[in-house]
Amino acid sequence: MTERENNFPALLQRLKPQCEQIIAQYEHKRSAFLPLMHLFQRHEGFVSREAMEAAAEMVGTTPAEAEGTVSFYTLLYRRPVGKYMLQVCRGLACTINGAEDIMAYFREKLGIGHLQTSQDGLFSYEEVECLAACDRATCMQVNLEFVYDLTPQTIDAMLDAMRAGSYGVAPMAQTEAPDGTWQIPQDAQVAGGRKSPGATGVPQPDNAGGVGDPSGVIMLDNIINRNILRFTGTRERAVIDSRAVVERVDEEGTRAGH
Amino acid sequence: MPVTKVLTAGIGEVDLRSIDAYRQRGGYKQWERVVRELQPVDVLNIVEKSELRGRGGAGFPTGRKWSFLPKDKNVRYLVCNCDEAEPGTFKDHMLLEEVPHLVLEGILVGAYAIASHHAFMYIRGEFQRGYEIFCAALEEARNAGYLGQNIFGTGFDLELTVHRGAGAYICGEETAMLNSLEGKRGEPRLKPPFPAVEGLYSKPTIVNNVETLAYLVPILEHGPEWFAAVGTERSKGYKIVSVSGHVQKPGNYEIALGTPVREIIELAGGLRPGRTLMAVQPGGGSSACIFEEQLDWPYDYESMAKAGSMLGSGAFVVFDDTTDFVNCAYNLVRFFAHESCGQCTPCREGGSWMERVLERLVHRRGVPGDYEMLLRIAGSITGLNLCPLGDSIEPFLKSVMLRFPDRFQERIVAAPEAQPA
């Protein structure tokens, strides 16, 4: 983690000319924001806080506006994702052509669910909306490259090739080394992870939810853990116990400065 | 039924991605003619005469849209809408990857017609390959002098910026697209003012679909009469129909508007052996289903509207008797709930509550009253939102619920302890 923080200024320095070129394409600088995010994501594998802040400064907006904008778009990942971003189409045309079986097959083979990242950091998996390739249903994208006409056989071959490092699509950049905390299934279940991938593969448990936390449970958990009860149990316990804790807080009224 | 090939001519036979291959088939001749010989108003007249209507979904007459531009403002923008994400549509995807130069030429012609000196190409974020192909084509065209400063020595300047989206269906809505182009969240704007008056950077802006702009090239080549000679009374010309679902040869088929629905199914190889047709969704995820009794109706804007549906973007999904319509309804409602930008309460809340009700129906855990509740919520979303996304939730759901009520009712279990969603 520290490694990446140290690297960001260097990356920024290196990309600066490209950034300026992008900004020059628009009459208004702010328009360059999404292209800049694409650029940083290509080099970082995700959009880091530093990248958002740097881009915000370049286009003349605030970090809050920048994060608000990034959080709107599903293809911008605010947390690290695996080397292969597997995005399987769950659109209607794919569904009536067997996408549900294909998705179940993926989940079984990968051992992870929608919006999760495998423990080894090799795969992130997401079930996405219509990819506009319905004539080749069922379809998917691997790091935004289309794969058509999926069958269990082609999926097996694909995953094997990825594991062997011989798959024909370049892996996503990995600037934040997975350290074994990629996947926290409890979060995924509680939060239901609705919009952005990577959101449930939380590398920093202190990082409060955002879009990946629609129910607010992770955030609540953080508040409870850190500020209210100084709860020192495991993360899993804290999530499960949070409802009971809230009730207690309610009963006791002013306890947490409410 | 012979297949018409206008935009799709040559696709699958020759590689039209290089500028030489495209020029060999007459590419960029119209662009050169337009810039050298015609005034913008001439192009506008030709397009009005061709009666071309927008191919992205709304079907608004293209010439009339352009004529809304205020005459006294010099800075205008053209935005080509390639944010194709309507469930079932895959025509722009094909055009972008197979005939990028045709798309580009269409954009150039469109920009000239509205006297714009800066055009934008907004490409859906998922189309990374298409983006690369289009950028390569743009580079070739730039080197050939087809855009830039003083094109063909006529003094006309035109720049094109290619902009990638980042994953949001709603950015296909024109004002959301403009916000996204401005580097903001892709949330639709309140209309009026319409983009033609106040669009990108608050300047007059025209947003046209890829297919619409691409048709400008053959219209200029063959003349507006050629285009207007095809089709029905108010739906002229050709249209690419993206046929998918339960047909044997799904794909893009270019047809004359007014081709009977049945023939489109036959073009796509018909149903699988031994299957019977249950429904067709003729205009993308936002459209209501049409049924057996409408199979001989002409596929055009008016007939589809009369059938209670719409032609939309030409996404044509065929359902046979293996279809689980409850699951399909759940699928589409979930789609809209997921893609709702969240600005308008009816769409944001209504969509996600309906998704939950449908989810329990899918799992055969419906509670008494769910059927009526769904129809009631659906009806109370429509018409109350800034953009058409909220209104898109109801049509498919309602059409299949009214047609196949038993399929929904049979999933309701009388469970006294069942809790509302």
pLDDT by residue (tens digit) across A9-43? 999 999 999 999 999 999 999 999 999 999 999 99
Is A138 an interface residue toward B (CB < 8 Å)?
Answer: no
Give the model's confidence band at A188: pLDDT under 50 very low, under 70 low, under 90 confident, else very high: very low
Q: What DSSP designation does A224 have?
A: I
Neighbour-count burial of A223, counting CB atoms closer than 10 A to its CB (0-12 exposed, 13-18 middle, 19+ buried): middle
Span A241-252, average pLDDT: 44
Q: How many Cα neighbours within 13 Å face the side chain of A215?
A: 14
**pLDDT value for A199:** 38
**pLDDT value for A221:** 56
CB contact under 8 Å between B183 and A32, yes or no, is yes
**pLDDT value for B321:** 95
The pLDDT of residue A71 is above 50? yes
Residue spans of alpha helices (H) in B56-209? 62-67, 91-98, 100-113, 128-143, 174-181
Determine which of A149-153, B8-12, B50-54, B262-266 has the lowest per-residue pLDDT on average: B8-12
Is A130 an interface residue toward B (CB < 8 Å)?
Answer: yes
What is the enclosing helix (H) or strand (E) of B355? helix B345-362
Tell how strand B118-123 and strand B77-82 pair up: parallel
**pLDDT value for A212:** 43
* pLDDT per residue as tens digits for the range B340-392: 999 999 999 999 999 999 999 999 989 999 999 999 999 999 999 999 999 99
Residue A227's alpha-carbon distances to A184, A204, A224, A257, A258, in angstroms, are: 22, 17, 6, 11, 12
Residue ranges of domains in chain A: 2-70, 84-164, 185-256
Give the model's confidence band at B50: pLDDT under 50 very low, under 70 low, under 90 confident, else very high: very high
Please give the single-letter amino acid code of residue A158.
Answer: M
The CATH class of the A84-164 domain is alpha beta
Q: How far is B62 from chain A (nearest CA, A)?
A: 24
Residue spans of alpha helices (H) in chain A? 2-23, 33-44, 49-59, 63-70, 92-95, 99-110, 152-164, 185-191, 217-223, 235-252
* pLDDT per residue as tens digits for the range B172-217: 999 999 999 999 999 999 999 999 999 999 999 999 999 999 999 9
Domain B19-228: homologous superfamily in CATH = NADH-ubiquinone oxidoreductase 51kDa subunit (3.40.50.11540)
Identical fold, A2-70 and A84-164: no
Q: What DSSP designation does B220 have?
A: H
Q: DSSP of B270-316, one letter per residue?
A: -SPTT--EEEEETTSTTS--B-GGGTTSB-SHHHHHHTTS--TT-EE
Residues of A in contact with B338 (CB under 8 A): 129, 194-195
**pLDDT value for A211:** 37
Separation of alpha carbons A21 and A33, rounded Å: 12
- Crossing angle of helices A49-59/A33-44, nearest 10°? 150
What is the overall mean pLDDT for chain B? 94
Both tokens assigned to B416? 């006294």
What is the overall mean pLDDT for chain A? 76
CATH of domain A2-70: 1.10.10.1590
CB contact under 8 Å between A141 and B180, yes or no, is no
**pLDDT value for A148:** 95
CATH topology of domain B325-409: de novo design (two linked rop proteins) (1.20.1440)
**pLDDT value for A116:** 86
Residues of A in contact with B87 (CB under 8 A): 91-93, 129-130, 134
Separation of alpha carbons B155 and B166, rounded Å: 36
CB B128 within 8 Å of CB A145: yes
**pLDDT value for B416:** 52
CB B16 within 8 Å of CB B22: yes
Residues 6+ apart with CB under 8 A from A134: A91, A93, A94, B87, B88, B89, B90, B242, B244, B245, B250, B315, B317
Q: Chain centroid to CA B242: how far?
A: 10
Residue ranges of domains in chain B: 19-228, 238-320, 325-409
To probe the interface with B, which of A36, A129, A138 has the most B CB atoms within 10 Å? A129
β-sheet bridge partners, residue A145: A142
**pLDDT value for B22:** 96
The CATH number of B238-320, from 3.10.20.600, 3.40.50.1860, 2.20.28.10, 3.30.460.10, is 3.10.20.600
* pLDDT per residue as tens digits for the range B359-368: 999 999 899 9
Span A128-152, average pLDDT: 95
